[in-house]
């Protein structure tokens, strides 16, 4: 029953019970942490055979000695393995080091300071450089913009992806908007999958926006579904091809949540012209990526079928954790008016939307009883959620038992904050 339909007496009774439960929980001295999207120990162990997998053979298929210098854009067999993840061809992908975040930062820094097409094209030549940030979104994307002095404009995230009406309007009006951040499949944090129409409209932005506009398409969870048959993402590359906008999209991916987080392989895909320009820029910074680790990944994952089989093992480990949270939310909060969420079919997050103005309060209530949640606001540019209502839940890392305990504590904090707020609104706080 929706709390707005409950009597003050009923609310007050509930509040008393909730406060008692909260005190009991406080006495338990919990130490739970649902803050970051880290794979669990059982997940990373799925790739333990990586170390030693080469069996003493350090040759790539083209004869390259992977132990030595050379090659800025990655091994051919690594390109062949990972290109399908981004729907790219092998001449449209570059295989880098261990971090897709590094590739993203580098692309932004390149476009801003050096220029995608020479110094004349550098975004930094303009006094103002702006970026569109669908909210809620990923704090590390926003941090790159903030660190590099790029002004962020929020646009709403719908269940179909960014609100493209808003995006197209802004982009058409303001040529200083130079890009947009996207996590198109199992969006961080809402878990939505961008619709076919959204992807097509993102691909078309390159026609409508100012020069050298970039869709930063962080496909971090490209193959990270929890269920067979989870919604697929259409290929943005194919739409770009159709619209003649291949230069306007950089796609990113990595094996951070396929093999080892922090010791995997990252990659990016874009037009051959963008790749050539970016590779030249990379050449000033590096003599090349770790090709030994690329070869290890090829040996472990082999091909698309190998990746699928590997990801099914991840899904088997992640599913119970997600289902524990979602079942608890459903049982305790559905139709209560105390919050909303999607049930993601993949990715690493559940985004919980509280009643307006309660996210910080819920996080703070949880913290006080030993339950660490991602700071409220982290999902928004500059760390400010104007409606103070988004909380990101990341159930992958803790044990199933801890995930369940956290979910229980979380709903208690949500109820406590919501009922207090409702009573307050009725002048009975």
Binding-site ranges for a second copy (CB under 8 A):
36, 38-39, 41, 44-45, 47-48, 50-56, 58, 65-70, 97-99, 101-102, 105-106, 109, 113-114, 140, 143-144, 147, 256, 260-263, 281, 284-293, 296
Q: What is the nearest approach in angstroms of a second copy to the Cβ of residue 288?
A: 5
Q: How far from each other are the two terminal CA atoms of the chain, in whole angstroms?
A: 20
Cis-peptide into 234, omega within 30 deg: no
Q: Where are the beta strands (DSSP E) in 172-298?
A: 177-182, 214-218, 249-254, 266-269
User: Of the two residues 124 and 337, which places its CB atom closer to a second copy in the complex?
Assistant: 124
User: Of the two residues 44 and 315, which places its CB atom closer to a second copy in the complex?
Assistant: 44
User: Of the two residues 394 and 405, which places its CB atom closer to a second copy in the complex?
Assistant: 394
| Backbone φ and ψ of 254, nearest 5° | -165, 170
CA 80 to chain CA mean position, Å: 24
CA 77 to chain CA mean position, Å: 27
Q: What is the nearest approach in angstroms of a second copy to the Cβ of residue 130?
A: 18
Q: What is the nearest approach in angstroms of a second copy to the Cβ of residue 51?
A: 5
Q: What is the nearest approach in angstroms of a second copy to the Cβ of residue 64?
A: 10
Q: What is the nearest approach in angstroms of a second copy to the Cβ of residue 138?
A: 12
User: Of the two residues 107 and 155, which places its CB atom closer to a second copy in the complex?
Assistant: 107
243 touches 206 (CB < 8 A) = yes
For residue 31, count CB atoms less than 10 angstroms from its CB and return exposed for 0-12, middle for 13-18, buried for 19 or more. Answer: exposed
User: Of the two residues 44 and 167, which places its CB atom closer to a second copy in the complex?
Assistant: 44
| Backbone φ and ψ of 78, nearest 5° | -75, -35
User: Of the two residues 105 and 382, which places its CB atom closer to a second copy in the complex?
Assistant: 105
Q: What is the nearest approach in angstroms of a second copy to the Cβ of residue 53?
A: 7
CA 202 to chain CA mean position, Å: 17
User: Of the two residues 34 and 417, which places its CB atom closer to a second copy in the complex?
Assistant: 34
User: Of the two residues 184 and 289, which places its CB atom closer to a second copy in the complex?
Assistant: 289
36 touches 396 (CB < 8 A) = no
User: Of the two residues 44 and 246, which places its CB atom closer to a second copy in the complex?
Assistant: 44
Q: What is the nearest approach in angstroms of a second copy to the Cβ of residue 125?
A: 13
HSE (side-chain half, CA atoms, 13 Å) at 25: 25
Q: Where are the beta strands (DSSP E) in 77-211?
A: 93-95, 130-135, 151-158, 161-162, 177-182
| Backbone φ and ψ of 169, nearest 5° | -65, -50
Q: What is the nearest approach in angstroms of a second copy to the Cβ of residue 60?
A: 12
Q: What is the nearest approach in angstroms of a second copy to the Cβ of residue 165?
A: 31
Let me know how long the chain is: 429
> Residue 144: which of 184, 108, 187 has the closest Cα?
108
């Amino acid at each position: 029953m929706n709390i707005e339909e409950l009597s003050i007496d009923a609310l007050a009774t509930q509040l008393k019970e909730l406060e008692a439960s909260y005190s009991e929980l406080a006495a338990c001295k919990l130490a739970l942490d649902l803050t970051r999207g880290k794979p669990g120990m059982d997940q990373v162990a799925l790739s333990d055979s990586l170390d030693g997998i080469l069996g003493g053979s350090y040759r790539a298929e083209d004869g390259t000695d992977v132990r030595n210098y050379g090659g800025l854009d990655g091994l051919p067999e690594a390109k062949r393995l990972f290109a399908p993840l981004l729907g790219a061809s092998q001449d449209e992908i570059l295989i880098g080091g261990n971090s897709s975040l590094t590739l993203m930062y580098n692309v932004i820094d390149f476009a801003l300071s050096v220029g995608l097409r020479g110094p004349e094209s550098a975004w930094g030549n303009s006094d103002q450089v702006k970026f569109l940030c669908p909210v809620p979104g990923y704090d590390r994307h926003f941090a790159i913009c903030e660190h590099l002095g790029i002004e962020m404009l929020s646009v709403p995230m719908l269940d179909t992806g960014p609100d493209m009406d808003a995006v197209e309007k802004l982009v058409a009006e303001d040529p200083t908007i130079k890009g947009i951040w996207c996590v198109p499949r199992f969006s961080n944090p809402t878990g939505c999958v961008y619709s076919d129409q959204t992807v097509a409209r993102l691909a078309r932005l390159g026609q409508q926006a100012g020069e050298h506009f970039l869709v930063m398409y962080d496909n971090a969870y490209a193959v990270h579904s929890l269920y067979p048959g989870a919604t697929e993402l259409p290929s943005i590359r194919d739409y770009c091809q159709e619209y003649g906008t291949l230069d306007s999209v950089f796609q990113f991916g990595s094996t951070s949540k396929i093999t080892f987080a922090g010791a995997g392989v990252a990659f990016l895909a874009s037009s051959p012209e963008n790749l050539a320009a970016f590779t030249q820029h990379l050449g000033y910074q590096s003599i090349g990526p770790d090709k030994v680790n690329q070869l290890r990944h090829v040996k472990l994952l082999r091909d698309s079928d190998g990746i699928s089989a590997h990801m099914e093992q991840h899904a088997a480990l992640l599913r119970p954790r997600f289902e524990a949270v979602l079942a608890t939310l459903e049982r305790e909060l559905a139709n209560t008016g105390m919050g909303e969420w999607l049930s993601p079919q993949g990715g690493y997050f559940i985004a919980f939307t509280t009643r307006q103005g309660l996210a910080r309060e819920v996080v703070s209530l949880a913290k006080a009883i030993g339950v660490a949640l991602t700071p409220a606001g982290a999902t928004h540019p500059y760390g400010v959620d104007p409606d103070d209502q988004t909380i990101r839940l990341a159930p992958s890392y803790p044990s199933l038992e801890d995930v369940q305990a956290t979910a229980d504590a979380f709903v208690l904090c949500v109820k406590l904050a919501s009922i207090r707020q409702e009573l307050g609104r009725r002048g009975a706080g």
